Amino acid sequence: TGYTTFDSGFVNTAATKSAITYIDGEHGILRYRGYPIEQIAQNSSFLETAWLLIYGELPSESELSAFDTRIRRHTLLHEDLRRFYDALPHNAHPMSVLSAGVSALSTYYQDSLDPKDPEQVELSMIRLLAKLPVMAAYAHKKSIGHAFLYPDNSLSFVDNFIKLNFGTLAEPYVVNPVVSKALERLLMLHEDHEQNASTSAVRLVGSTEANLFASVSGGINALSGPLHGGANEAVLTMLSDIKASGEGVQKYVERVKNKEAGVRLMGFGHRVYKNYDPRAKLVKESADAVLEALGVKDDLLDIAKELEFIALNDDYFKERKLYPNVDFYTGVIYKAMGFPPRMFTVLFAIGRLPGWIAHWREMNLDTTTKIGRPQQLYTGAVARDYPQA
Ligand code: CMC
């Protein structure tokens, strides 16, 4: 009825109201529930920020410890679900394995699927927070042909995840505190980013009253693309290709500017940030510190810095307001920690999970939510008669 506004890519259209995250793209501002991202990164923890995003306020000490304990109790996967991984090929992309696994959660945990039942909703949120890191680590182990470990609930959320990735059955494993601290900080920086493509996917699926696992599985698939979360892996591929080709950074930038097919400066540009991405600033600070603390020297970091310098001083990028985004430096850090590039977007997914949950929950609690159902401008054939024999 009435008229339809055309807004391909949702450049101007708000599809929802939300009280979770505030972004001012002109001034490089990002706040979770009003708290600046810089202060979150400095002072909070992954689970505390998750609580903040989901429930709206910082938790008390006892609330946080009860939340943590409850999550630790739910880390085990159903044994059949653990074996479900056997059915997937070892060379599958870990993001595909992860989305399949999360989708399968709704087959194993059928007692927490009702979005209208507050207790079931709580249980599904806890289960997902507890099990996603385990499933992510299994996707990694599967890809390198190593045996899966069981979670160690004496460890914190992040340390447990690190051990599941890098520990083996053969030897005891001690988590490196430098890796732990740096990974927790990176995960916090990824926790929410208002109506990005994957969160919008979670909301769209959830608007049909689909369960949380189904909605988040949709989000993981949306995140996997190279224009979204997949960019962190694509950045590393780009840096490695530049190094291997020996063509030099300037040559690569020229190819980007000439818009050669398929050549973009990955990790650059953002729909909302037109000045700088505050997360990228924080990640860049970490990159030098973490590589130094881990005693890693990586040419790819030098190439990244040279690329950034050249791009920031080039008219093509200046005119289009293209700046490094959160994905530009993360890959170099993840690589130094020992993660293979194919795991990078999986790390993004673990980081983003609290945001997806918070938005899904906010949408379900809002009694005015309608099913998401965009309009179109029809461009096909006009009415015509089916040919008669
Ligand atoms: N390299 C070269 N040119 C670019 C880039 C880039 N990375 N990004 C945008 N442009 C150009 C684009 O070609 C266009 O030029 P013109 O006006 O001459 O046609 C102009 O800048 C506007 O770009 P757009 O594609 O209309 O911008 P958008 O808001 O639709 O897309 C984006 C945003 C993030 C998809 C895009 O900047 C991009 O593809 N970046 C590379 C992938 C990337 O790093 N993604 C991660 C995003 S941040 C976190 C996350 O979601 O994971």
In the block, tokens 């609690």 appear at 365
What b/e sequence results for 126-140 when a residue is b if at least 16 CB atoms lie within 10 Å of its CB, and e otherwise? bbbbbbbbbbbbbbb
**ipTM (interface pTM):** 0.97
Whether ligand 1 lies within 6 angstroms of the CB of 266 is answered as yes
pTM greater than 0.95 (yes/no) = yes
Q: Is the pLDDT of residue 378 over 80?
A: yes
Instruction: End-to-end CA distance of the chain: give it in Å, rounded.
Output: 38
- Tell me which residue has its CA closest to atom 45 in ligand 1: 227
> Comparing C-alpha atoms, which of 103, 112, 125 is closest to residue 54?
125
- Average pLDDT rounded to a whole number, residues 315-344: 96
- Tell me which residue has its CA closest to atom 44 in ligand 1: 267
Whether ligand 1 lies within 6 angstroms of the CB of 320 is answered as yes
- Tell me which residue has its CA closest to atom 47 in ligand 1: 228
What's the gap in Å between 129 CA and the centre of ligand 1? 31
Per the CB < 8 A criterion, the answer to whether 346 and 291 are in contact is: no
pLDDT digits (tens, 9 = 90+) for 182-208: 999 999 999 999 999 999 999 999 999
Whether ligand 1 lies within 6 angstroms of the CB of 53 is answered as no
Whether ligand 1 lies within 6 angstroms of the CB of 349 is answered as no
Q: Is the pLDDT of residue 1 over 70?
A: no
173 Cβ neighbours under 8 A, 6+ residues apart: 163, 166, 167
pLDDT digits (tens, 9 = 90+) for 83-142: 999 999 999 999 999 999 999 999 999 999 999 999 999 999 999 999 999 999 999 999
pLDDT bin (cut points 50, 70, 90) of residue 220 is very high
> Comparing C-alpha atoms, which of 103, 89, 76 is closest to residue 142?
89
Whether ligand 1 lies within 6 angstroms of the CB of 322 is answered as yes
- The reply to whether 241 belongs to the active site is no
Pocket test residue of 30, 310, 322, 346 for ligand 1, highest count of atoms within 8 A of CB: 322
Whether ligand 1 lies within 6 angstroms of the CB of 30 is answered as no
What's the gap in Å between 268 CA and the centre of ligand 1? 7
pLDDT digits (tens, 9 = 90+) for 141-183: 999 999 999 999 999 999 999 999 999 999 999 999 999 999 9
- Average pLDDT rounded to a whole number, residues 8-33: 96
DSSP 31: E
Q: For the ranges 1-5, 10-14, 214-218, which has the lowest average pLDDT?
A: 1-5
Whether ligand 1 lies within 6 angstroms of the CB of 160 is answered as no
For the chain, the average pLDDT equals 96
- Tell me which residue has its CA closest to atom 10 in ligand 1: 269
- What the block records as the tokens of 215 is 């909605």
- Average pLDDT rounded to a whole number, residues 284-290: 90
CB atoms within 10 A of CB 365: 11
Whether ligand 1 lies within 6 angstroms of the CB of 274 is answered as no
Beta bridge partners of 21: 32
Q: What is the pLDDT of residue 264?
A: 95
Q: How far apart are CA 324 and CA 333, in angstroms?
A: 15
- The reply to whether 327 belongs to the active site is yes
pLDDT digits (tens, 9 = 90+) for 28-71: 999 999 999 999 999 999 999 999 999 999 999 999 999 999 99
What's the gap in Å between 222 CA and the centre of ligand 1? 17
Q: For the ranges 197-201, 233-237, 261-265, which has the lowest average pLDDT?
A: 261-265
Pocket test residue of 186, 232, 259, 264 for ligand 1, highest count of atoms within 8 A of CB: 264
Q: Is the pLDDT of residue 283 over 80?
A: yes
Q: What is the pLDDT of residue 3?
A: 81
**% of the chain with per-residue pLDDT over 70:** 100
Whether ligand 1 lies within 6 angstroms of the CB of 228 is answered as yes
Element (H, E) at 30: strand 29-32
Whether ligand 1 lies within 6 angstroms of the CB of 231 is answered as yes
The stretches of the chain forming alpha helices (DSSP H) are 37-43, 46-55, 61-73, 79-84, 94-108, 118-144, 157-166, 177-189, 197-206, 212-223, 231-245, 249-257, 278-293, 299-312, 315-319, 327-337, 344-365
Of residues 190, 270, 277, 359, which has the active-site annotation?
A: 270
Beta bridge partners of 30: 23
- Tell me which residue has its CA closest to atom 18 in ligand 1: 320
What's the gap in Å between 265 CA and the centre of ligand 1? 8
Pocket test residue of 320, 321, 329, 350 for ligand 1, highest count of atoms within 8 A of CB: 320
